[in-house]
């Protein structure tokens, strides 16, 4: 598997995990869990965009 594909897949996984943590944080009214979810979702978006850029460059 290419590095770009791995980054895109891992980015998507982090986005889903972040969404799950955000939902759990809202449900339990946990600000800490909500913040962790938002951070993980943001990191996933960055990782996914890195994978797209790598694919465009041919890596």
Q: Which pLDDT does position 39 carry in this prediction?
A: 98
CA distances from 35 to 8, 13, 31 (A): 23, 17, 6
- 42-43-46-47 Cα dihedral, nearest 10 degrees: -140
Q: Which pLDDT does position 41 carry in this prediction?
A: 98
Q: How does pLDDT run along the chain (59 residues), one tens digit per residue?
A: 899 999 999 999 999 999 999 999 999 999 999 999 999 999 999 999 999 999 999 87
Domain boundaries defined on the chain: 3-54
Q: Which pLDDT does position 58 carry in this prediction?
A: 84
Provide the angle, in degrees to the nearest 10, between the axes of the packed helices 3-28 and 31-57. Answer: 160
Q: pTM of this prediction? A: 0.91
CA-wise closest residue to 24 among 6, 16, 11, 4 = 16
Q: Which pLDDT does position 15 carry in this prediction?
A: 98
């Amino acid at each position: 598997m290419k590095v770009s594909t791995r980054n895109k897949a891992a980015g998507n996984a982090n986005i889903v995990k972040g969404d799950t943590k955000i939902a759990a944080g809202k449900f339990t009214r946990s600000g800490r869990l909500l913040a962790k979810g938002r951070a993980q979702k943001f990191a996933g978006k960055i990782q996914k965009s890195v994978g797209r850029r790598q694919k465009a460059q041919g890596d």
